[in-house]
C-alpha cells in the first residue's frame, strides 16, 4: 500500500433510501424501511473508500468481516449518512468503525475488516475455488 493512510482518516457517503433497499426476502417486502443488508453494503462501500487512494496497482482489497448493529429504522426517501473511520491497519488488514445517521439520529453502527492482497493471489484463490 502507498504511504499516508493514517489512523483517524474518514470517508463519508450519503444515500437516500429507495424501495430496492427495503427489507425483503424472496422478493417480498417484510418492512418498508432501509434493510440491514443495504446498511451492510453501504458500510462496506464507505470503508472501501478509505483504502482506494492507497492501493498499489498490483493490489486489491477484499471484505473479510462485518460486525453491525442496526439500531433504528429509516423509511423511504430518508437521507442516510454513513461515515467510516480508520481505526487500525497493518500491511494486509484494514479496520474501520462505521456509523450511520438519518435525519433523526444514529440508526446503525459497525466495524468492517478488509484485507489487502496482491491481485494475482486473489485471482489464484478464485480460480482454485471455481475448479473444486
10-131, which class in CATH? alpha beta
Q: What is the pTM (predicted TM-score) of this model?
A: 0.92
Percent pLDDT > 90 in the chain is 89
Q: Residue 5 above 60 pLDDT?
A: yes
pLDDT of residue 126: 85
pLDDT of residue 91: 80
> Average per-residue pLDDT in the chain?
94
pLDDT of residue 130: 63
Per-residue pLDDT tens over the stretch 83-121: 999 999 998 999 999 999 999 999 999 999 999 999 999
Pair 39, 108: CB distance under 8 Å: yes
Amino acid at each position: 500500500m502507498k504511504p499516508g493512510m493514517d489512523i483517524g482518516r474518514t470517508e463519508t457517503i450519503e444515500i437516500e433510501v429507495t424501495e430496492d433497499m427495503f427489507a425483503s426476502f424472496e422478493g417480498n417486502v417484510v418492512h418498508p424501511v432501509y434493510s440491514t443488508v443495504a446498511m451492510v453494503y453501504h458500510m462496506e462501500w464507505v470503508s472501501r473508500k478509505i483504502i482506494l487512494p492507497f492501493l498499489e496497482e498490483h493490489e486489491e482489497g477484499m471484505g473479510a468481516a462485518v460486525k453491525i448493529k442496526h439500531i433504528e429504522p429509516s423509511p423511504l426517501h430518508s437521507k442516510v449518512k454513513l461515515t467510516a473511520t480508520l481505526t487500525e491497519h497493518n500491511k494486509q488488514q484494514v479496520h474501520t468503525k462505521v456509523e450511520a445517521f438519518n435525519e433523526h439520529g444514529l440508526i446503525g453502527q459497525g466495524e468492517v475488516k478488509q484485507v489487502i492482497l496482491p491481485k494475482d493471489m486473489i485471482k489464484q484463490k478464485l480460480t482454485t475455488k471455481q475448479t473444486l
